[in-house]
Amino acid sequence: MSVLFSKLTIRDVTLRNRVLVSPMCMYSSDDGFANDWHMVHLGSRAVGGAAAVITEATAVTADGRISPQDLGIWQDAHVEPLARIFRFIAQQGAVPGMQLAHAGRKASTARPWEGGGPVAVAEGGWTPIHAPSAIPFTPGWQTPRAMTDEDIASVIDAFRAAATRLLAAGGRIVELHAAHGYLLHEFLSPLTNHRTDRYGGSFDNRIRLVLDTTDAVRAVWPERLPLCVRISATDWVEDGWSIDESIALARRLKDRGADVIDCSSGGTVPHAQIHLGPGYQVPFAERIRREAGIMTAAVGMITGAAQAEQVLHLGQADAVVLARQLLRDPYWPMHAAMELNEDVEPPVQYSRAFPRPRA
Ligand SMILES: Cc1cc2nc3c(=O)[nH]c(=O)nc-3n(C[C@H](O)[C@H](O)[C@H](O)COP(=O)(O)O)c2cc1C
């Protein structure tokens, strides 16, 4: 039996295999609402056999959206359309989850296919943009406002309220987005956090917002359900956030009730030199798993069944998280099962297309 198709239990949630759908912005919402696009996009990956389907970065406040078209969970009215999708995902045997996010200084930008640059107020963007320090992402982007204590308290509250709504919608995995240069990551990295108060400076101060947010979410997120944190394990810049700090943070997150660290990287500054290649972030998942003693998920250019199996077999991670490969092939888990000669049940409606291996 492969490790890829073995079950994984985290708290009271059992995943049918080790393949997770990575959060992927769809930039397809109106006022934060989930719609038919999200049903088909997320639903197909559940039909395709993934163990958990995690929504895109879902904004905890309207001004925390990356783009005006982001999915959101900042109001109670967002719950019902999400609940419909989550019910469908669960009916397919997958576990529905959500990535909760605040874009920080990278908020109010255009969809990638519309250039991805800042969106002015007149074009549906907004201001102020919040960040630890008043440093724009790159020249020409909005200069954010350095957050006050009240701003910080209200963002923590927004994460807490969003987690409560997620629970009401039937979500069973919560992932905090502390990666890719968005708000929580901006507090972690010395490149973006120049504060001199208790949220900036020392390592303990820079991680405070992530820990406080984790505490706030864990307080309303039931003990029986998993909490993950996606981090950028490195900024890929000298003097930036590092893998050693990530390991130290992971230890602290574990103490606060986080269950899995989803190990991504980069996104803080535009000039980072990222060393891309197959499985390029797997070594981060491996070190964090080994040195912090917490479950990790490996993500980034994992595309093949044998490759994914190897990551798990070598104990580099507990699960693999796929993004683009699952866009190319929503049935990747079924195809991977065939390649590894695993007996995985397709949806009954599709059973004639996915023959079961002989015993
Ligand atoms: C269309 C698209 C949207 C994405 N949106 C998000 C997102 O909302 N949150 C996030 O943490 N990462 C996001 N990412 C990054 C992916 O989750 C993943 O980490 C990255 O693509 C590397 O994995 P891959 O090589 O399997 O694609 C996005 C990637 C793509 C391709």
214 lines ligand 1 (CB under 6 A): no
Output the pLDDT for position 359.
Answer: 62
Decide if domain 8-350 falls under CATH 3.40.50.170. no
What number is the average pLDDT over the span 322-337? 97
Q: Which atom of ligand 1 is nearest to the CA of 230?
A: 11
Q: Is 58 in the pocket of ligand 1 (CB under 6 A)?
A: no
Residue 30 confidence (pLDDT)? 98
- What's this model's pTM, rounded to 2 decimal places? 0.98
Contacts of 59 (CB under 8 A, 6+ apart): 32, 65, 66, 70, 71, 72, 73, 74, 101, 102, 103
Residue 66 neighbours by CB under 8 Å, 6+ apart: 25, 57, 59, 101, 103, 106, 107, 109, 182
Give the tens place of pLDDT for each residue, 16-47: 999 999 999 999 999 999 999 999 999 999 99
Using most ligand atoms within 8 A of CB, pick from 19, 20, 22 the residue to mutate for ligand 1.
22
Q: Mean pLDDT, to the nearest integer, of 151-169?
A: 98
Q: Is the CB of 230 under 6 A from ligand 1?
A: yes
Query: What does the pLDDT average to over 140-165?
Result: 97
How much of the chain, in percent, has pLDDT values that exceed 90?
96
Q: For residues 318 and 326, what is the distance between their CA atoms, to the nearest angstrom?
A: 19
Is residue 88 within 8 Å of residue 43, measured between CB atoms? yes
| Nearest-atom index, ligand 1, CA of 302 | 26
Residue 332 has a pLDDT of: 98
Q: Which two tokens stand for residue 316?
A: 């580099």
- Per the prediction, the chain carries an average pLDDT of 97
CA angle 194, 177, 307 (to 5 degrees): 120
10-32: b (≥16 Cβ within 10 Å) or e: beebebbbbbbbbbbbbbbbeeb
Catalytic annotation present for 350: no
* Domain range list for the chain: 8-350
Radius of gyration over every alpha carbon of the chain, rounded to an integer in angstroms:
19
Name the H helices within 225-329.
243-255, 282-292, 305-313, 324-328
Answer whether residue 354 shows pLDDT above 80: yes
> CA 356, CA 85: separation in Å to the nearest integer?
28
